[in-house]
Chain A
């Protein structure tokens, strides 16, 4: 068996591999413990390379045994961004573009793993708290798994994200307040319904593992090598932690050589993890949320302390570009690489730009950045910042006047 159980990330107390998420000794978060001898014996570059062109090519590293609930997530576009690199002054800039996942965000990776686990546990329903991307992903995977889904979102997120969840038949609960209010309520509901699988609450230790596949893809696509630096968007900080774990896994089983990858994280302006890194202080939650980047707008980031520690220990940094910089970065990526990313991707590109300008990234460094969602989901935020269309009568002369 590749999964031995769960373990507290704080005090180390061990638990069986059940739907648990909090340590009863110190209330710290739990993580999956693997049998690394089993994985080492079973995994190989050749086996992975012959696997499906989805995240399930890395199944030997994932905490599930059942047949996956699979919409085809993962193994998304890996692009050498020569045009954007030229603008920013980087020679080896790579993008992983998760806007091409089945529901157009990286959340399909975590949800595919968590919903598979919920089926393994025989759970009766699915649920989550979401800033938007998770909503659509969970709704779609729940439909595929023939399970009902209850999705808690803060009121006022992008319409497209709500429509996407509704179309798959999920029950979407708009909670008056911020994401943190929606998350608190969802956690209370999860406590009342232990036989429901809330993917980012009572299934969180398993769910988070799905994001490790971004690390595996990074290494595989670079020819089984680790990059020099990564730039990762942060909401709860879980994605950055998962990519860090993923690189360590690969070293542990000998698929790549050890390397000290520098981790950089990005959030919208004023958010807690970046603020803590910049000020060298503990991560302090914020109540008031002021950003157009809804998908990263978590005021109380669950993995904040862990993400901060990884960034600091790796010698990386954190950046929190303004909303205006984010919009400009979305446009810059679109105009240079032909990729329309959502605002979270704009945060990452804008953060990368600041890191380069501050001399924190060398121009020859191999840098990988993660674009976690699709621009069409948040297009309404851009409307006021784009050139307007030109309206003419269907006459050649009028067109010639426009281009004159």
Chain B
């Protein structure tokens, strides 16, 4: 079971801020599963085949770009958080 947290800006599409997803082994598989459930999310998150730079994805608090990107492995109990990139400074 992977715990997924969305920012409030996703809720127009996802309706809720927290969901749980089963049977996914990587962030890529998680995204595929989420996109099946929320096709509009895919349209907005993926631009020209690439993940938008305006949303960062964290696995247990670490940015996936410093792990293995979309190939980052997930295990039972992991927490995946989507966070708007434009903050701070």
Contact = CB atoms under 8 A, between A and B. Distances in A.
B12 A236 contact: no
Contact of A10 (B5, B17, B54): B54
B87 A200 contact: yes
Interface string A186-201: 1110110010001011
Contact of B9 (A22, A179, A298): A22
Contacts of A204: 86-87
Contacts of A10: 54
A201 B66 contact: no
A200 B61 contact: no
Interface stretch (B20-28, B31-39, B77-85): B77-85
Interface of B is mostly: mixed
Interface in A269-299: 285, 287, 298
Interface stretch (A78-86, A300-308, A331-339): A300-308
A188 B83 CA distance: 7
Interface of A is mostly: loop
Given A22-B9, A29-B54, A188-B81, A238 B61 contact: no
B41 to A, nearest CB: 10
B49 interface: no
Contacts of B45: 27
A10 B86 CA distance: 12
Nearest to A237: B89
A135 B7 CA distance: 25
Nearest to A30: B86
A181 interface: yes
A206 interface: no
A235 B12 contact: no
Interface in B1-53: 5, 7-9, 12, 17, 44-45, 47, 52-53
A7 B87 CA distance: 16
B81 A21 contact: no
Contacts of A186: 87-88
Contact of A298 (B8, B58, B88): B88
A148 interface: no
B73 interface: no
A27 B84 contact: yes
Contacts of B9: 22-24, 27
Contact of A181 (B17, B52, B61): B61
Interface of B: 5, 7-9, 12, 17, 44-45, 47, 52-56, 58, 61, 63, 65-66, 81, 83-89
**A-B complex: 7 closest residue pairs judged by Cβ atoms:** A236-B89, A29-B86, A183-B88, A27-B54, A22-B84, A201-B87, A287-B66
